[in-house]
Amino acid sequence: MRVNLLDLTMEGLEAFVIHELKAPRFRTTQIWKWLWQYDVRGFEGMTNLSKAMRAQLPQIASIDWPETVDLRTSEDGTVKFLLRLTDGKLIETVLIPGAQGNFTQCLSTQVGCAMACTFCNTGLMGFERNLTHGEILGQILVARRHIRDRDLQPLKRLVFMGMGEPLNNLDTLLDSLKSMSSDIGLDFSWRRSTVSTVGLPKKLKILGESGLALPAISLHAPTQELRAKLMPVAAQVPMIELMAALDAFPMKPRERITFEYLLLKGVNDSLDHARQLADLLGQRRCKVNLIAYNPTEDMPYDAPEREQVLRFEKLLWDRGMTATIRRSMGADIKAACGQLKADHQS
């Protein structure tokens, strides 16, 4: 089996260079730069390696980028990629344009998801497998190449908010966060990345101790009872335990935990729900990000009325909280979680 070099951390690559390639240690940073800074996809391009090494490498190693099988650009500038992995599995990643024309990329961490949230397309598919280091970071390589080829605005932020539950792929997530901050590689500082999660206390603790990223918590309900209806697997963790884990999350003075609250018409979008949410979060160091449900066929939910979303937000403001409404992007290209893949498979 040839090893995909994109699956190796810096330490892993060093071990490969020394033990497999039988080459001196300094070759590690040379190869790392070719992979992550200059995005070469073949060994011939690694011009500072010896000819012998360039001939030897393809026999024991490969550079496997995810392959783009569908690409859709929305009128609002959102770009959605459907990517095929080496075993044929499909994942999605999205580039979302910001106000200044910078892009935020939404990354997947698993094929499918075990959380089975009742409103989520990916949840409907069930869990298939975790993504590897190379598959998580390969999404960035693909998107950055797209941006460079078209001279678009740079990629500024990364959010782990695509398919899958990132904390269920924790070791690889942490390796990926570390690798992408390499200043001779992708060069993303962790302050520009957010890990969106249903909130798993033991794993949140490890994420906190790593100091590598801040979480955004998919709360979606102000009470345990309602949350259990919407997110049956996630809610196996009682809300009290989740809140305790978040209260203990190490943060610098100006940092905040983000709570995501998906608004489903007639389900969790009343002003009573908003009051309960304010009771729960009002005293916490946090901000609330309200998300209008992006509807998919065959799901028993509807998008909330725009007016209701504004009223919900205003109530939180009146209670002194920081709340924002997430702009909905890319509806014309099926940009919500799992929609494009579902489209392809039907």
Q: Does 218 bind ligand SAH (CB under 6 A)?
A: yes
Q: Which of 85, 200, 262, 309 is in the footprint of ligand SAH by CB under 6 A? A: 262
321 is an interface residue for ligand SAH by CB under 6 A: no
Q: Which residue has the tokens 């904390």?
A: 167
Out of 197, 212, 323, 341, point to the residue binding ligand SAH (CB under 6 A). 197
Is 135 annotated in the active site?
no
Write the binding mask 128 to 167 for ligand SAH: x where contact by CB under 6 A, - elsewhere. ---------------------------------x---x--
Binding ligand SAH by CB under 6 A: which of 4, 169, 258, 294? 294
Q: Does 214 bind ligand SAH (CB under 6 A)?
A: no
For the chain, counts of helices (H) and of strands (E): 12, 14
What residues between 4 and 33 interact with ligand SAH by CB under 6 A? none
Angle formed at CA 166 by CA 163 and CA 169, multiple of 5 degrees:
110
Judged by DSSP in three states, 158 sits in strand
Q: Which is nearer to ligand SAH, 138 or 330 (CB)?
A: 330
Helix H or strand E segment including 289? strand 286-292
Q: Which is nearer to ligand SAH, 97 or 304 (CB)?
A: 304
Short-list 249, 325, 261, 312, CA closest to 285: 249
DSSP state of 19: I
Pairwise CA distance, residues 122 & 17, whole Å: 38
CB nearer to ligand SAH: pick between 65 and 119: 119
Structure tokens at 98: 């910001």
Q: What CA–CA distance (Å, rounded) separates 48 from 38?
A: 13
Query: Of the listed pieces 19-27, 94-102, 244-252, 293-301, which binds ligand SAH according to CB under 6 A?
Result: 293-301
The nearest distance, CB 115 to ligand SAH, in angstroms, is 6
Element containing residue 340 per DSSP (H, E)? helix 339-345
Any catalytic annotation for residue 44?
no
Distance in angstroms (rounded) separating the CA atoms of residues 19 and 209: 32
- Residue 196 touching ligand SAH (CB under 6 A): yes
Q: Measured between alpha carbons, how far is 346 from 344 in angstroms, rounded to an integer?
A: 6
Interface residues toward ligand SAH, by CB under 6 A: 115, 117, 119-120, 161, 165, 196-198, 218, 260, 262, 291, 293-294, 296, 336-337
Q: Which residues are catalytic?
A: 92, 337
